[in-house]
Amino acid sequence: MENQEIGFVGLGRMGLPMARNLLKAGYAVHAFDASAQARAAAKESGAVLADSVRALADRVETICLSLPTPAIVESVLLELRHGAKVRRVIDLSTIGIRAARRAHEIVSERGIEWIEAPVSGGITGAAAGTLTLMVSCATSVRHQVEPIFQPLGKVLYAGEAPGLAQAAKLANNMLSAAALVASSEALSMATKAGVDPAVALEIINASSGRNTATTHKIPNEVLTRRFQVGFANKLSHKDVTLCIEEAASMGIPMPVSVAIREMLAITTATCGEDADISDVARVMEQWAGITIRGHADSQ
């Protein structure tokens, strides 16, 4: 883009590393977050702080959002759209199909372009600039935003209409949660029966049960007892809930997703509000009376 200034609202565990990658790529990042601690971290990284969302929208043409809920995104947009300079909004949040369509209406009423770009890859991907960005926007806008996406990761276009990228993201996140819940359940059974968990994973990963939980999350975070995938369990619960609600609005029953959501709710109730998504395995361990740990680590 000709204009190397960009705004960023939402400097949490995903937003801050993305903002840092934009800074490294040479953008002048103007940032805002409701948290003083987050603002301080952004300033230390080289961002220029704004006093409010409206002040940010008075300074820059393009503003990225990385926010936790649809309600927060909407409240930010209702303030942002009155800015004197803002011309386009890139939403990196996961807010659902109907919320994205509503967000598009809010900004387009003021002539502001809406680009939705929910991301996959977690904190590790955000820091490394290897996220997958699922994008939907008008074709005429693509060339304007593609340079911004390059420091963040790989772009896959879902289409032009508002809500399409959100639909793809919710489908992905539901499957990701389902893989971890089901894999933790299956591995608890195998461990209880006497199979070494590391051996069970080796067998599964050479067979038809292989998935991202068995290849990465469980070996790296459960067997090692770190439990730090880097994605909050309560955010996974939010995403699966959004998926179920969107499906319900289209008349589609999702009984498996409902069971996954319940397991995530149980994990929060058991492990607390700050639980990592991998803590679902802790709950399974408690129920089975076992520990999912490799034989070598248990000596």
Is 85 designated active site? no
Among residues 167, 155, 175, 14, the alpha carbon closest in space to that of 100 is found at 167
Would you give the distance in Å from CA 200 to the centre of its chain?
A: 29
Residue 5: what are its φ and ψ, rounded to 5°? Answer: -95, 140
State how far the Cα of 172 lies from the Cα of 239, in Å rounded to an integer: 10
Query: Residues 31, 63, 55, 53: is their CA dihedral positive or negative?
Result: negative
DSSP string, 218-280: IIIIITTT----SSBHHHHHHHHHHHHHHHHHTT---HHHHHHHHHHHHHHHHH-TT-BGGGH
User: Cα(first)–Cα(last) distance of the chain, in Å?
Assistant: 56
Name the token pair of 23: 């800074």
Residue 156: what are its φ and ψ, rounded to 5°? Answer: -125, 125
From 24, 85, 169, 238, active-site residue: 169
Active site residues: 169
